[in-house]
Amino acid sequence: MPYVQPLDIDDAPKKSQPILTAIQEKFGRSMNIFSTAAHQPDLLGGMTQINDGIRNDLPDKFRELAYMKASHINACEYCSHYHEQAAKQAGISDQQIAQIGTFESSDAFDDEEKAVLSYAEQLTKTANIDAATVHQLKEFLDDKQLVSLAGAVALANFTNRFNHGLDIQLP
């Protein structure tokens, strides 16, 4: 049982209502993470701004691989559930999803995907990144994309902990 109940749009603070409406229109349904964050409108707004920002220039496949890796490490069932769907839409195969925990030795990932996964793993586990990993990433990502990758991993870690801290449930 969640520690804080998700809010219906009509019960949310006025400042949260347009954000929740936009989320419902975008995804076709309400999502408990956002409906729970709606208790604090500024937090909800910040979450959605970061979420929108990481979608601007980083290829979807890299963003979703990073999000899935962080969520796998943090054992966030909620985020893994939704981002598995997004990962498939971004072109990530079922085999890749199944082997995300053993990506280093898997033939399912190319070198670029492995670099993204390594970055997400390092940032999630230690909050430190090996310079060699950044060098690999800079062979195919520009600075703006690298910032978005860092933002994607940071957002994944935030939402994983937000979900765990409030025991947010899947519908």
Domain ranges, ordered by start, for the chain: 9-53, 60-166
Classify each residue of 105-142 as buried b or exposed e, where b means 16 or more C-beta atoms within 10 Å of its C-beta.
ebebbeebbbbbbbbbbbbbeeeebeeebeebbeeebe
End-to-end CA gap in the chain: 12
Note the pLDDT tens digit of each residue in 150-164: 999 999 999 999 999
Show the tokens assigned to 100: 């995300």
Q: How far apart are CA 145 and CA 134, in angstroms?
A: 12
Show the tokens assigned to 114: 């492995």
Answer for the pair 136, 111: CB distance below 8 angstroms, yes or no: yes
Note the pLDDT tens digit of each residue in 136-148: 999 999 999 999 9
**CATH-assigned architecture of domain 60-166:** Up-down Bundle (1.20)
Predicted local distance difference test score (pLDDT) of residue 171: 84
* Residue 47: CB atoms within 10 Å: 19
Indicate the DSSP class of residue 59: -
Contacts of the segment 98-105: beta carbons below 8 A, 24+ positions apart: 100/65, 100/68, 100/69, 100/72, 101/72, 103/69
CATH 1.10.3470 fits 9-53, yes or no: no
Classify each residue of 76-97 as buried b or exposed e, where b means 16 or more C-beta atoms within 10 Å of its C-beta.
bebbbebbbeebeebebeeebb
Note the pLDDT tens digit of each residue in 39-87: 999 999 999 999 999 999 999 999 999 999 999 999 999 999 999 999 9
Q: How confident is the model at residue 29 (pLDDT cuts 50, 70, 90)?
A: confident
